[in-house]
Amino acid sequence: MAMTGVLRPGHAQVRVLNLEEAVRFYRDVLGLVETGRDTQGRVYFKCWDERDHNSYIIREADSAGIDFFAFKVLDRATLDRLEADLRAYGLATERIPAGELLETGERVRFELPSGHLIELYAEKKAIGNGIPTVNPAPWHGAREHGIAPVRLDHALLYGPDIAQVQKIFTEVLGFYLVERVLTPDGNGNAAIWLSCSHKVHDIAFAEYPEKGKLHHCSFMMESWEQVLRAGDIMSMNKVAVDIGPTRHGVTRGCTIYAWDPSGNRFETFMGGYQPYPDFEPLTWTFDNFGQGLDYPQRKLHETFLTVVT
Ligand code: M3P
Ligand code: FE
């Protein structure tokens, strides 16, 4: 099999200020499918075309932001091997027992130098996407409810020491660098886009003094038309929109950035090209950061650099 190791983004757990307001937003405006609630009061969602039980979990807290971001790995042997590799590299790891998150197997958790908690897991209950696996229709009713992205695509996280973060993802977890924005002096990276797959990014980081910050979780739309429809639905529901609809120069992705009712930014995203691990990374100089963010407007929106949760 060509794709082994870390397969894909699996779940994000995000803090919200008012749980029921957030449930209404994520279920009825973003159009995620609610799949469960646990004894801690957390609410679980998945995108309509995802087959595993959950990909986005919210919990009520006094501050918005991200608790952890997780990747699904091929199997249990891969999980054991990656945990050993992380430890050999010098990182502490922790095992979270199976079932601590609904329908999710044992997780290996570690903290990045950027202050983010990353998890790996091999098992999550497959509940399907509502379409049979024999003679499937291309979509069903859930695709029409709200914005209705097809899957959790990636996250952009802000924190210190992304040079070390890049080493961990590329030297231990098998990711490769797809794009980067240089610092103003050109000697380091201000932001990096990393892939474990054929996608333009599965996770990205930007250098930031404060640890553990969330810039956005991103949800994959099927077409540019669906991104525009997402913009219509945002406006119909008076959602606070940050940037877009537009196209990033970085990744060539078509995008809207907007905020949930607690101030967590999210992205509805589609497109990009299809890199393989032999891809020569693309580099943007800092003076072209604006094109990287918003290619048509060539504008480095102030909020991109300063508003995080
Ligand atoms: C993305 C994304 C830049 C931002 C690019 C963002 C260069 O590619 O997916 O959010 O500022
Ligand atoms: Fe993004």
Q: Does domain 6-143 have CATH number 3.40.50.720?
A: no
In this structure, which topology does domain 152-306 adopt according to CATH? 2,3-Dihydroxybiphenyl 1,2-Dioxygenase; domain 1 (3.10.180)
Separation of alpha carbons 290 and 284, rounded Å: 10
Q: What is the pLDDT of residues 190-242, one digit of tens each?
A: 999 999 999 999 999 999 999 999 999 999 999 999 999 999 999 999 999 99
Concatenate the DSSP letters of all residues of 58-85 into one string: EEE-SS-EEEEEEEEES-HHHHHHHHHH
For ligand 1, whether the C-beta of 272 sits within 6 Å is: no
pLDDT confidence of residue 96: 98
Strands 43-46 and 107-111: unpaired
Q: What is the pLDDT of residues 23-72, one digit of tens each?
A: 999 999 999 999 999 999 999 999 999 999 999 999 999 999 999 999 99
154 pairs with which residues across the strands? 218
How many helices (H) and strands (E) in the chain? Answer: 6, 17
Q: How far is the CA of 237 from the centre of ligand 2 (A)?
A: 22
pLDDT at 3 over 90: no
Q: How far is the CA of 18 from the centre of ligand 2 (A)?
A: 25
pLDDT confidence of residue 2: 80
Provide the pLDDT confidence category of residue 1 given band limits of 50, 70 and 90: low
Cβ–Cβ < 8 Å for 96, 119: yes
Closest Cα to atom 3, ligand 1: which residue? 293
pLDDT confidence of residue 106: 98
Q: What is the pLDDT of residues 183-192, one digit of tens each?
A: 999 999 999 9
Closest Cα to atom 10, ligand 1: which residue? 156
Q: Nearest-CA neighbor of 159 among 190, 126, 128, 197?
A: 190
Q: What is the mean pLDDT of residues 117-142?
A: 96
Residue of 293, 301, 307 best suited for mutating to test ligand 1, as the one with most atoms within 8 Å of CB: 293
Domain with CATH 3.10.180.10 in the chain: 6-143, 152-306
Instruction: Return the active site residues.
Output: 154, 201, 216, 248, 257, 267
Concatenate the DSSP letters of all residues of 159-223 into one string: ES-HHHHHHIIIIIS--EEEEEEE-TTSSSEEEEEEESSSSS-SEEEEE-SSTTEEEEEEEE-SS
Q: Which atom of ligand 1 is nearest to the CA of 249?
A: 7
As a whole number, the mean pLDDT across the chain is 97
Closest Cα to atom 4, ligand 1: which residue? 293
Q: What is the pLDDT of residues 231-280, one digit of tens each?
A: 999 999 999 999 999 999 999 999 999 999 999 999 999 999 999 999 99
Separation of alpha carbons 133 and 230, rounded Å: 28
Q: How far is the CA of 289 from the centre of ligand 2 (A)?
A: 14
